[in-house]
Amino acid sequence: MDKFAFVFPGQGTQFLQMGKSFYDNYDISKKTFEEASDTSGIDIADICFNGTMSSINDFTNMQLTILTAEIAIFRAYMSDYGIYPQFSVGHSIGEYAALVSTGAVTFTDAIKIMLKRGELVDQVIEKDNGHMAIIEKSNIDLIEESIMEANAKDSVFISCFNSNSQYALSGFNEKLDAVEQLLLDKESIVSPLFSSPPMHSPLMNDICMEFLEYINTFEFYPFKFPIISNYTGMPLSDPSKIAKNLTYHLVHPVQFSNAVHLFEKYGVTRTIEMSPKLLLSEFIKEDHSEIEAYCYGLINDRQSLERLFKSDTNFVKDMPNFIGRCLSILVATENNNKNTNEYKEVIKIYGKLRDQYQTMNKNNSYLHQDQQSEILMLLIKALKIKKLHPKLIKNCVKSLLDETNNFYNFSHVFNTL
């Protein structure tokens, strides 16, 4: 199978009715909206499907609705195929969705962090001393030249590197207005975002410490695959660096162009945008026409991906299988129990799961939820006999439930670990 990457866009993704078809057609997507609403205390589905442009563009609502819609679409993909990529990259708000997709941050925790981020950013919005602007048909030299001409070096900053011809600027209102005019005079296309705070720039410094302290209260988990960090433009797979990364993300530019350049280095040939509409794919096509870009929110692209996946002889083999993943976990985890008599029970459990797996494949049958529950409890029993550290057992179970889209069915089991 070709190497591919997930991409998750940020601001600009939102529109009324986004995610509705997934909410209506995938139970896992509907539950995602419900989880977001239960966690935030805000009816996310109502804002997306019955709200107004004003309500969906409110900064906190915008963050929550984008994150929710993208994870609802990602989980629909996992339900359809369940095959992980080589990388995941998010743009601004999308980085939180990317972290959820890789398993490092739970969706519930991402919602809570987004709420805090919105609360803190609202403090910056209330000051009303800065905004953002999208600059198109331009280049780095032209933008830096205009910043210098406006004497705005310490007041206006490049906040997003989107493609070779599109950037975002953040800065103090009057200085940014002056830079915008200079760029207009030089035939760039300028779209001021007066309602948007000056994200990804030093103007956000005042809220960083409180945000970092808040993020540090959460537990993060092993990455199933790396993300490419907005802050560094490089792969990230260390959970201990998540809090710092998301905090620096507020005051440093989004390095999306660098992320896409890495795709070529690591052999990524296709991207799947986990979004209700095409956005980042346009940037990818602009800079790297050889990369095939798809958007899972678009039905035509989903149909194209179905043909692509099913034409690959490794497709069925790569799809996650609940009992198969349990067997893999049992084999891959170390045994810390020196008591051979006790360990015989692990061998017995493995044999039982293996026989059930072979029978299931032979009969082309599927496991019912009660069967999955029994298998999960056997897995946990075996891991405890092997005397794995409780945190490692929890990580193994989380990985299993994430990969097989079973976290809602067995959240009560996970929460007791």
Do both 300 and 218 map to the same domain?
A: yes
Does residue 290 sit in the same domain as residue 339? no
Mean pLDDT of 348-367: 87
Say if residue 54 is in the same domain as residue 112: yes
User: In this predicted structure, what is the pLDDT of residue 71?
Assistant: 98
Residue 181 belongs to what domain range? 128-197
Same domain, 16 and 51: yes
Per the domain annotation, does 304 fall within a domain? Answer: yes
The first and second tokens of residue 253, run together, are 């530019």
Q: What is the CATH number of the domain that holds 213?
A: 3.40.366.10
Task: Report the pLDDT value the prediction gives residue 362, as an integer from 0 to 100.
Answer: 82
- Looking at 197, 226, 252, the residue that finishes a domain is 197
Handedness of CA 315, 319, 323, 328 (dihedral sign): positive
Q: What pLDDT, in 10s, does the model give residues 365-414?
A: 778 889 999 999 999 999 999 999 999 999 999 999 998 889 999 999 99
Task: Tell me which residue of 88, 28, 403 sits closest to 273, measured CA to CA.
Answer: 88
Helix/strand/coil for 5: strand
pLDDT attached to residue 7: 97
Whether the pLDDT of residue 286 is over 90: the answer is no
Specify the amino acid at residue 373. S
- Per residue in 166-198, pLDDT tens? 999 999 999 999 999 999 999 999 999 988 999
- Which tens digits make up the pLDDT trace of 319-345? 678 998 999 999 999 999 999 999 999
Same domain membership, residue 148 and residue 136: yes
State how many domains the chain has: 3
pLDDT at 186: 95
Whether 316 is in a domain gets the answer no
| Residues 209, 290 within the same domain | yes
Statement to judge: residues 17 and 102 lie in one domain: yes
Contact partners, residue 220, CB within 8 Å, separation at least 6? 104, 105, 239, 240, 242, 243
Query: How far is 149 from 284, CA to CA, in rounded Å?
Result: 31
* Structural domain ending residue among the three candidates 197, 216, 233: 197
CATH number at residue 151: 3.30.70.250
Phi-psi region of 151 (alpha: psi -120 to 50; beta: other; left: phi over 0): left
Flag whether 355 is in a domain: yes
Measured CA to CA, the distance from residue 137 to residue 286 in angstroms comes to: 12
Write the CB contacts of 66 (distance below 8 Å, at least 6 apart in sequence). 9, 10, 11, 13, 14, 93, 94, 97
pLDDT of res. 319: 64
Q: What is the dihedral of CA 101, 104, 108, 110, to 10 degrees?
A: -80
pLDDT digits (tens, 9 = 90+) for 69-97: 999 999 999 999 888 999 999 999 999 99
Report residue 353's pLDDT band, with 50, 70 and 90 as the boundaries: very high
Across the chain, mean pLDDT equals: 93
- Residues 239-255 have pLDDT tens digits of 999 999 999 999 999 99
Indicate the residue among 142, 162, 197 that finishes a domain: 197
Does 147 lie in the same domain as 52?
Answer: no
Q: Are residue 162 and residue 97 in the same domain, yes or no?
A: no
Task: Output the pLDDT for position 331.
Answer: 92
pLDDT for the residue 23: 97
For 210-225, how does the pLDDT look when each residue is reduced to its tens digit (9 = 90+)?
999 999 999 999 999 9
Residues 150 and 192 in one domain: yes
- Quote the tokens at residue 215: 């993020």
What would the mean pLDDT of 116-125 be, rounded to a whole number?
A: 95
Q: How confident is the model at residue 15 (pLDDT cuts 50, 70, 90)?
A: very high
Question: Rounded distance, CA 255 to CA 159, Å?
Answer: 9
* Banded model confidence at residue 316, pLDDT cuts 50, 70, 90: low
Same-domain pairing of 49 and 192: no
> What's the distance, Cα to Cα, between the start and end of the chain in Å?
36
For residue 273, being part of any structural domain is answered with: yes
Query: What's the pLDDT band for 315 if we cut at 50, 70, 90?
Result: low
Statement to judge: residues 135 and 228 lie in one domain:
no
Domain assignment present for residue 315? The answer is no
pLDDT digits (tens, 9 = 90+) for 130-153: 999 999 999 999 999 999 999 999
Question: pLDDT class for 313, splitting at 50, 70, 90?
Answer: low
User: For residue 239, is it within any domain?
Assistant: yes
Q: What are the pLDDT digits (tens) for 17-35?
A: 999 999 999 999 999 999 9
pLDDT of residue 318: 58
Three-class secondary structure of residue 47 per DSSP? helix
Q: Token pair of 278, please?
A: 């095409």
Q: Which two tokens stand for residue 157?
A: 């900053």
Longest distance between any two alpha carbons in the chain, whole Å: 81
Residue 383: per-residue pLDDT: 95
In a domain? residue 82: yes
| Residue 1 confidence (pLDDT) | 59
Residue 370: inside a domain: yes
